[in-house]
Amino acid sequence: MKVVIDCDDAAIELKKTIVAHLENNGIDAVDLDYLGSHPGAYYPEIGYNLARKIQDGAYQRGILICGTGLGMAMIANKVKGVYAGVCHDVFSAERLRKSNNAQILTMGARVIGPELAKTIVSAWLVSEFQGGGSQPKVDQMHALERQSFESQ
């Protein structure tokens, strides 16, 4: 599995830690480093850029990190067919995949430390969508999303 990752200026060090953690665990981590080519970019551009890469199928999973994770989740969820959620604990990270089938995990570098972030990422990556009772809810989310995007 290839995992794409990026961050804003509030999370550069945590992103480096997560990239190293992924690589140490045999996971191909692709750092988009949007800030490197667009100095001064704000989180909406960065998150949108990564979410579009998920949307077009270039990557299956993505990780976005900003100060709180909230803004990154908000912008990623503006891209049709892309689902993101902010997680600052392991249970939420597991449920993000198992119950909601989200492709993007967002975290806040000002909210959690590096060791917890690594644990959250690991839990999220090994979790898979379970379907079952969650399937009708995810289907409804997709239907409402289509309705929202098509009504514009």
Residues belonging to the active site: 66
SS3 35: helix
Which amino acid belongs to residue 80?
A: K
- How distant, in Å, are the alpha carbons of 21, 56, 77, 135 from that of 64? 15, 17, 12, 25
The angle, 0 to 180 degrees and rounded to 10, between the axes of the packed helices 114-126 and 12-24 is 50
